[in-house]
Structure 1
Amino acid sequence: MKPIWIVDDDESIRWVLEKALARENLVTKSFSNARDAMDALQSSTPQVLVSDIRMPGTSGLELLQTIKAQHPGVPVIIITAFSDLDSAVAAFQGGAFEYLAKPFDLEKAVELIRRALDESLREINIEQASAETPEILGQAPAMQDVFRAIGRLSQSHVTVLITGESGTGKELVARALHKHSPRASQPFIALNTAAIPKDLLESELFGHERGAFTGAQASRRGRFEQAEGGTLFLDEIGDMPFDLQTRLLRVLSDGHFYRVGGHQSLKANVRVIAATHQNLETRVREGLFREDLYHRLNVIRLRLPSLRERREDIPILTRHFLGQSAKQLGVESKRVSDNAMRFISGLDLPGNVRQLENLCNWITVMAPGQTVEIKDLPQELMVQNDKPLAHETISGGSGGSGGSINSAVSTAQFDPHVSSGSGAAGTEDCIRSGRSPETASPIVVDSKTWVSLIEIEAATMLVRGDTDVMDVLGRQFESALIRIALKHTHGRKNDAAIRLGIGRNTITRKIQELGIAGAKDD
């Protein structure tokens, strides 16, 4: 991490801040005047800059302008006397992060510097993530349409509305629009309006003045000010509270806004890109979204296809995410077999690209071999996505392989090329045998009995290629019966043996083999 620069002609202030920040294990570098700091910018940059406004020679405002021109991502905290509040306003308009009014409380000063430091590190992480993120992957015709739209918008400043299901990559497209726009060198600021409590969202967007509400101990810039000259991405815009929609409409209409508790109009030079998974036309009809704001946002609309509409992209996305996950963990990238890839490509994946990425992370960590087969995938993928069977669980004991007997594998999930039949049989889940999809015959099971759950688990294990099905399920079945019987007899194994219809020596041996605890002699 880079040092925190302190620029002040008052040696006592430099000394106090240096000592306070040293106690926080933060490295500092001090300058007695702005000119020396500007010279140092030629060879290095600070993580955070703390500067007085009034100094002999070059002022703090000039230093602010210089650093914002060269390094716009560096947070700048201005130190000012109460009599210089007009200068503080000018500092904010010049892009200052916050200001410290003299005389200041040292603890609050350190807290403010900490906040600026967190903001700086967050921006660095975003920039690194953006730099490491490749161009959006996709060869499907639907994605080619998206790419063409991004190209046509590359020199435009117009507002864009991105629609699509959750997890389709709306923020990735927004970043691409920013990256290929004339604003690419300026900040890209993202805000999920659904993730911020209603009471805080207004302050997050527009900032607030000191004392605007309880807990507002200092003025704060909002996302519009942070994105000055760049792009503001408002995700899940459909969830924005109705009263805030009015304020957003004003900014989009005339480019001006007020901080919460403020009286000075601020100018916003920001391109807004909004996104939603909801149908805004429906929300307008229901009175939940302003129609005039909808038309203001819906200048250019980009619809992202779901992963179901671009299944041909799943293999290249899978290989990309597996390589990305392996790189992060410092391990060799795993390979998905052709059968497993066909299986994954046939899944519904309602979480779209995000769900596929999570699956690849799971495979990297949990799959046993370098080549991933169907049997190595998470068992929950074997459950029908849109209509899961009634879920019952028979827990195994600690002996043997343990585990549980779960609900079924869906034909639609297991063999993407086969769909359920019509009529009554069509509502049942079919499980394929371990043979190839071309020759396998479906096993239709009744999902309403506990016996069917065993059949389902057995079929699942057979498909995975397990060769110890009888032993594993037999041990689970015996363990469940003995544990329930012991619970019924309060742990008395002789009574439990009588209730189960087996001998005393048999139950004693089974308890030892299965590792069942809690049994006692009568």
Structure 2
Amino acid sequence: MKPIWLVDDDPSIRFVLEKALARENLPTRSFTHPREVLDALADVTAGDPARQGPQVLVSDIRMPGGSGLQLLEKVREMQPGLPVIIMTAYSDLDSAVSAFQRGAFEYLPKPFDLPKAVELIRRAVEESQREEVTEERQTATPEMLGQAPAMQDVFRAIGRLSQSVVTVLITGESGSGKELVARALHKHSPVADGPFVAINTAAIPKDLLESELFGHERGAFTGAQTQRRGRFEQAEGGTLFLDEIGDMPFDLQTRLLRVLSDGQFYRVGGHAAVKSHVRVIAATHQNLEQRVKEGGFREDLFHRLNVIRLRLPALRERHADVPMLTRHFLQQSARQLGVEPKRISDAALARLEQFSFPGNVRQLENICHWLTVMAPAQVISLQDLPPEVLEAPLVPVAEPVAATPSPAPVPLPEPAPAAAAMAPVAVPSQGAAGWAAPSADASIRPLGDAVAPVAAPPVATPLGWEHALEAEAQKLLATGEPDVWDVLNRRFESQLIRTALVATHGRRMEAAQRLGIGRNTITRKIQELGLDAADEG
């Protein structure tokens, strides 16, 4: 691991931190002046093999001949992702605010509690290592991100289709990234050197859509003063992406079918057939089979488009990808706004993973843009998340496994009546994006090899903690205990804090974050409840 760089003109501060970090097996390198730090960073940047850059920088704010805040600014220019902890006096609140505004990871008040200082530095180390891994992943996978099994199946399908120009129908909810998949299919195809042209058939008025698709001749209608090439001609030799194909007007569906079957079309007002050599990829959030039954979509066109069907999972079906996507979008938003990228705490990430994301990946991208602008600190905490996330009910984080895309849907059997007594099963919605039956069938498989539903066993559910609390309260009330409220509250808070400290290996600040309370609150509670020994252990 790279060393922790310590910058302070006070040798006693450097000595204490060096010894404390050595006990934690954290290497250190000490400096007495900001100029020494900048020179050392310049050596690292120049590629000196004898020099190793810092994992974390801990700097005093007031030193002879230099300021920690000025050092922070210059370090952020040289190494933007390096966590910097600024040490400052209790009364120097303006400096603490300035440190955060300039991108400090955290500030450490002097005089500081040594275990807290070590805990803070270790958290910065973990954040630094996490950012390094994230940057490596983003460099390796800049085109599309996804490690969840459902997304891996999509990637495999794109790979299998890379040698073909077959027509593909992409289904999935709005905001799930259907155009990204279409672009990937084009990029990894035999027509990758040709143009990629996209059109949203739901966003263009019906009267203009025909001209947009097929072009028009001069004088074809009022205002047509010149000949105009349509999207089919613009996409010649490449790929035409027809988004929201389910909203295409019925009469235009006939013209599209003719192009797909004959390979030629006529411009509006034209009499000469135009040859078309275009690969067509279509996408929809609608159930096209249902639209066919209702008479809103041509059945023959449906079969022309449904050569290969590729279902894109909703974000709630791939919760494991939320942390990776969140960090990616935070980096992207920072680049767009010209600011330093913000980091996100584990507690905030955990809450995002438990959000249902009705707007899918697009909603997550918008949330990250909102956080880049609105979150007050450089590290996004749980409380910084927008109201729609904090106020939404939690959803279980379950990762259904999606099947390899199939060219045609397979109808599912009707569920047996006993299924109503089963434990909840993660099955995709049968609405906008859940109608591709192969994936729905696959989502049942993780329960076991048997497909037939198994009735739930007789009621043998253990009583919840509320029942145990009720029994304990009744016992205390029966014995005449005068302070039942205080007794049970102390026991409840003690157990909750102990459990959080065990989960965070004794790190108080992280425990407070995950419990959703302030660090001053958890310190006060630990003292009041006499948990200091448990915390230090």
TM-score (norm 2): 0.49
Where relative contact order (Cα < 8 A, 6+ residues apart) is larger, the structure is: 2
